[in-house]
A and B are shown apart, each in its own frame.
Chain A
Amino acid sequence: MEMMDLFIAGIGIILAGGLVSMVLPERLKSWAVALGTGCGAALIAWVSLNALFEESPITAAYVLSYPTGTVRLVIDKLAAFFSLVIAGISFLGTVYAIGYMKPYYGKKNGTTSHFFFLAALIASMLSVIALQNAVAFLIAWEIMSLSSFFLVAFENESEEVYQASINYLIAMHIGVLFLMVGFLAAAFQSGSFDFASFTTVFQEHRGLASLVFVLLFIGFGTKAGFVPFHTWLPKAHPAAPSHISGLMSGIMIKTGIYGILRTVLLIQTPAFEIAYFVLIISVISGILGVAYAIAQHNIKRLLAYHSVENIGIIGIGIGLGMLGTAYGNVPLALLGYSGGILHVLNHSIFKSLLFFATGGVYQKTHLLDIEKLGGIVKFMAFTATAFLVGSIAICGLPPFNGFVSEFFIYWGMLKGLTAGNTLLSIAMVFSFASLAFIGAMALLCFTKVFGVVFLGSPRSEYHEAPVEVSFSMKAAMAIQMGLIVLIGVLPQYALSGVALVAQQLMPEGGKALDTSPYLITLGGVSKGLAVFIGLFAAIFFLRALLLRKRSVYTYKTWDCGYQAGNVRMQYTASSYAAPFLRIFRPLFSWKIHFTKPQGLFPGEAGFESHAEDRFERGIINPVLSMIERSMNAFTWIQSGSTQQYILYGLVFLISITLWIMVV
């Protein structure tokens, strides 16, 4: 029991930090939350590490009354892993916020609520992970959605931010509706809201298990951002302050992944159809997420679409794990789950790093439009390096962490490919090619962002020359970069860590699995990476040696003899992405504004094209407007007249009385 008390105390300290910050003067608020989160996160990390490496999970039960019944808290390996990730990234986020929120002090009233809800978000995320009772889970889930809603709506005086936050709120509530139906369907059969009782029901009713899984997948998938439930993401992320985008994209959407994994754990051995369903949805999310990202010109919107892509990659890993379980293919299950779970950690690190670096650029230039930026590396070398490291990691390139998790997933696919089942083999070949395609597109996208934003010359006049960000922001980014390199070059330890979680998700046979044969291969990877890094160092040293006593001088960029080049002649992000977008035109719905030059002395003329999300225009928006129309039919209920409301109460009471009398 003691350990669980520490965990709860950790959540309490984080909340206390938020409460204390409310009464403090403005410049101390961020410190209070960072301190609270730091202490709380340390406690939670300690408990989680214990739970991760102990045999039995940490549990506690609290007898509460209606509506929850007994509430169990469990920190098993799955929960321990997620709470570790959440605690770590949350702490970095609050440290980053110290520097990031400084310009807002004295200018904005919302900082009190902002810091309180930041603490509330972190506390609720951690509670979601531990709670094992459907009702309590949904309450914590709702607190998480609401506190993040208030965080997104921070700059609510802007119409765009306001719209985005309302859109987010609606999406979250449609998502939670599916969760409620799913949980109710299971609870109706089992007679209890406790998760453990669901497992027994799912064992007996396989059909119900699959149905509940799909319902919960939609609910959790809305949070996680699977296509086609992703449309809130690219709206909410640009609207929120950067540390919030970092936390939302880095860890909050992972609570959706946690929910899916928890459901998998409840179902234990999933049906084939369900596993293929997860795999297919994930492949589609991965491909479309990155394809849509390429068309974006707002950095944060672009990064948001990349979250859709990375959730897709995580989902591919989970899908492989489920397929492995369904087919009894232990290596496939182990590597699939391990890859997906490790990608949860990796993505939380590099995506929050990318958002933090972007936040630094925004703080100093007040710009998010890629086409207006450029040459930032000359003003903010640290931030540029951070973004470069994050870019390489998110493209899944060696020697950084993104490569390791993608390698596990590829490797798992190979194990499935050669397992002898034709259908599985075909599925593996196509997911194999899809993941390669996703990787190549991510490379296109991030060379575009990094190249256009940070390199070259500024494309517009900055109000003032940007300067490097403050120490607290740098500190957070430095830690993230360190982690990225560490996981990247030591894949063996990464597997040893996540295999524990993966084995919990696998049926009995997998739990006793010896992972040492896998470590031999990872030793090979590690050797290859070492050779690469060594060769690079040697070549770079050779270059320096050769150039030591020679003339190295700088001159204008070669522009084919034309001597009046200017910054407007640089390649833009749109032109960079154009060849790709032309080939994959059908994926997007295009909006083109074209004003032809007219008359003998043409005046204004212009051409603008926007690539839009097909799912948003084709599926989500029509559905939303349909809901809106049908809801409008009920507006007469809310008339504003008190007498009418009293009548409702009366009608309700009479019908209840009648019902009791009859039944």
Chain B
Amino acid sequence: MMITIINIALLLIMPFLFLGFINRIKSRWAGRKGPSIMQPFRDFMKLMKKGEVISSTSSFVFRLAPSVTFAAVITAGLIAPLAGGKSVISFEADFILFAYVLGIGRFFTVVGALDTGSSFEGMGASREVTFAALVEPAFFIIIASLGLISGGLSFERIFEIAKGGDVAILVLPLGIIALFIMLLAEGCRVPVDDPNTHLELTMIHEVMVLDNSGPDMGFIMYAAGMKMVVIGALIANLVIPAAFPLWASLGLMIAVQALLAVVIGTIESVTARLRMTHVPQFLLFMTAISAIIISTVVLFIAGGIK
């Protein structure tokens, strides 16, 4: 019960801090003081107090989309293990629901974008689904490999056991890199996408929500931050030892997330976004890593192909 409450609180609070922290880091790199860490929260509250402008081309799909997406990301967050490596909702093969519930969120973001009839939003939607098609198989291979090491079938069990043993030294760093690429792709960050770009032609996520405003925009912003936190939590679970007491693991979880925010902020400050045609290559890098992971697991744990 305690863990459930902590997890839900973490899930609700961390997205704002995560986004705020990234902005802070980026400001530092640019030599500015930067806005308060609480700025994303203030933005969110401001959006909640506004009315909306809705495209006259759009239909009920556009009105439903942000709520569906937000609900989907929260559900995924409840399935992912957070503090103490425990999830709020856990069952065998739960990570399939995790991936697919994010899928329904993506479906609605995309059709919501197409509903406006804007060519820019269509462009973003097209990129979003194409890149997702490259990320998803790799994610499943990584999770399956961890499942193969641990013999566990739920998120909790997979992360709990996968950390032990010699092979972990090989697999875990690779897993962290691969999941980090997924975090950048799903969170629409540099080098896949630049959330601060000023040209609609080069955006992915931001361009899909050009026509949203008011509370809907707030939901979208919140959901985007939460998605990063949730994938960040998966990375943190690879690092945090299973036997740690709750408070230590909670602290480590926050520390890892903060570190991720620093890394993301740094990447965004020192590198540029990739050319759109090169993004698939970057994402296929994740597939390559996942292939190495599964080969490693098969060779070292299962003792090769018998």
Contacts and interface: CB of A to CB of B under 8 A. Distances in A.
A433 B137 contact: yes
Contacts of B151: 418
Interface in A574-622: 575-580, 582-583
A577 B119 contact: no
Contacts of B122: 451, 570-571, 575-576
A122 interface: no
Nearest to B98: A528
The B interface, classified by DSSP as helix, strand, loop or mixed, is helix
B92 A521 contact: yes
Interface stretch (A151-159, A247-255, A550-558, A632-640): A550-558
Interface of B: 48, 50-61, 64, 66-68, 70-72, 74-75, 78-79, 89-94, 96-97, 99-101, 103-104, 106-107, 110-111, 113-123, 125-127, 129-130, 132-141, 144-145, 147-148, 151-153, 200, 210-211, 214-216, 219, 276-277, 280, 290, 294, 298, 302-306
B55 A575 contact: no
A594 to B, nearest CB: 21
A440 B55 contact: no
Interface in A266-289: none
Contacts of B93: 407, 410-411, 414, 521
A81 B123 CA distance: 44
Most B CB within 10 A of own CB, among A433, A553, A582: A433
Contacts of A527: 89, 91
A557 B107 contact: no
A315 interface: no
A43 interface: no
Contact of B101 (A410, A446, A532): A532
B304 A422 contact: yes
Please provide the 6 A-B residue pairs with the shortest distance between their CB atoms, ordered closest to farther: A571-B122, A524-B91, A451-B114, A456-B117, A550-B51, A536-B71
Nearest to B74: A535
Contacts of B94: 524, 528
A377 interface: yes
Contact of A422 (B66, B90, B145, B298): B298
Given A554-B56, A577-B126, A456 B115 contact: yes
Interface string A313-343: 0000000000000000000000000000000
Given A388-B61, A555-B55, A455 B92 contact: no
A536 B211 CA distance: 21
Given A433-B290, A447-B107, A559-B119, 20 more contacts: A388-B61, A398-B97, A407-B93, A407-B100, A411-B92, A422-B304, A433-B144, A440-B103, A440-B137, A443-B129, A443-B132, A447-B125, A524-B94, A528-B75, A528-B94, A535-B70, A547-B215, A554-B53, A569-B119, A579-B126
B69 to A, nearest CB: 10
17 contacts: A410-B93, A414-B153, A422-B302, A422-B303, A456-B116, A457-B57, A524-B89, A524-B90, A524-B91, A525-B97, A528-B78, A538-B71, A550-B214, A551-B51, A554-B53, A569-B119, A570-B117
Nearest to A456: B117
B100 A397 contact: yes
Question: Interface range on chain A: under 10, 10 to 19, 20 to 34, or 35 or more?
Answer: 35 or more
Contacts of B114: 447, 450-452, 455-456, 571
Given A411-B92, A560-B200, A579-B126, A397 B103 contact: yes
B305 A557 contact: no
A539 interface: yes
A428 interface: yes
A395 interface: yes
Nearest to A421: B306
Nearest to B131: A579
Contacts of A653: none
Given A403-B100, A531-B78, A570-B117, A429 B52 contact: no
Contacts of A418: 147-148, 151-153
Given A550-B52, A557-B57, A560-B120, A397 B107 contact: yes
A557 B207 CA distance: 12
A528 B97 contact: yes
A172 to B, nearest CB: 34
